[in-house]
Amino acid sequence: MSSPVFDAAHWQARLDELRAAYHVPGASLAVLTGGTVHELASGVLHRGTGVEVTADSVFLAGSLAKVYTATLVMQLIDAGDLDLDATVVSVLPEFATPDPEATKTITIRQLLSHTGGMTTDFNYDSGRGDDCLAKYVEAARNVALDVPPGTGFSYGGVGYVVLGRIIEVLTGQTWDQALKDRLFTPLGLEHSMTLPEEALRFRVAMGHMGAPGQDPDPAPAWDLMPRGVAPGARVIVSAGDVARFAKMHLDGGVAPDGTRVLSADAVAAMQRREIDTPDKWTVSSDAWGLGWTLLDWNGAFGFGHVGSAVTQHSYLRVIPDAGFAVVLLANGGGFTRLYDDLVRELAAELAGVRMPDAFAPPAILPTVDMTHLVGTYKREGVITTIFQADDGGARIRYEFVDDMKDLSPPLESDLVPVSQTSDRTVFAASGGPYDEDHIPVVFATLSNGTPCVYVSMRATPKTA
């Protein structure tokens, strides 16, 4: 059966139309279909300068970095330099957490699949030097785990910095150089990098901030994250390069010139379910593999990842059976709505699959028993309080504390019931941190019996 024809003029018009409608200053789109990567661009990189987005423009892609780091780790496993079920301390003796017993048990597999209990909100600035990952891992010894290792899923960026440091120790290179030599160069990814001084050679997107429904203004800084968090939070890429990286995974680990970058077994292992995710909506993740989020789009298997660099955003979605991948990079505005509309249309026409509906409360709201949910939930840097308002409705208060107290004032919202089953209760909080109408707030229980609340996929245990 022949692959659907990519109508570049049609999709350019849709990208232009939707980008303008949702006040996204600039966006870059790459679509892999029929074995070919098609690249489109729309809008401006910076509303202050008016420089236009082109297909080779580069954007900060945030947590998309995690799948690149995971791929490097799997290369080391292929080479026999690392074992997936080895404990971290057996490879990196200086690794530690405040829980000595937990420290001894955390494995490489757990870090890749976000089941090691490590947190994500630790933006420690370990400097710009080549020793930044070593210094970050040293500082992270004092950061409490979100949950005990192996008891459940909790999205953990700190674990990916640890993986980045393991890559450095085993390769003798910085994470940045290992990524360049072992992935970017073999795959011909000439518009992929990790450092600002490398990005300045290209047309670089500036992030934008502003109220929903309006044209946003350029952000006060291009990149707010320190170098040390890069293995979990920073690659600088063009949309086309991300699609070419995804194609390597679709092609069983082989580069366009026939070079084997990753074994077929490693490619398959990354796409194999490690754990179901209680929060299936924040990044459209039904389960997690080794690095990849795993998707079930109404019966069609997929994988991918998303990223946010505070003011710039990235999406990668892959449907293997259709040989289809789509990458969308944006620099502010209503980027989630742009993604929801555009990728839904692309997936339906070019992959023959129906993307799940955007997260929202049902038309008829269920009755939810709040009795056992009310209380205080705490993890490193965050206290979440669930309480009942005077009118009887549920509310959430999300507060940054300790070293994170200056990130934002406390956030409060009504909680609208979505569903309640034996293992999970789901609410919608009104108004997300960016442009969402609703964000999921999910209550679930760890395997050790501890109740948790999930906000942005981070597990926060109940303490009172």
CA distances to 130, 188, 304, 441 from 191, rounded to whole Å, are 22, 9, 20, 37
> In what helix (H) or strand (E) does residue 101 lie, and over which residues does it extend?
helix 100-105
Q: What is the largest CA-CA distance in the chain?
A: 65
Q: Give the DSSP per-residue string, 240-273.
A: HHHHHHHHHHHTTSB-TTS-B-S-HHHHHHHTS-
* Given the residues 57, 63, 126, 285, the one annotated as active site: 63
Check: CB of residue 440 under 8 Å from CB of residue 430.
no
- Rounded CA separation 378/71 (Å): 32
Contacts of 100 (CB under 8 A, 6+ apart): none
Specify the DSSP class assigned to residue 462: B
Sheet of 411-420, strands arranged across = 375-379, 382-388, 394-400, 411-420, 425-430, 438-445, 451-455, 458-461
Q: Is 63 in the active site?
A: yes
Q: Which residue carries 């500082």 as its tokens?
A: 139
Which of 277, 433, 275, 450 lies closest to 377 in space, CA to CA?
A: 450
Structure-block tokens of residue 328 = 């969308």
- Rounded CA separation 27/238 (Å): 10
Which of the residues are catalytic?
63
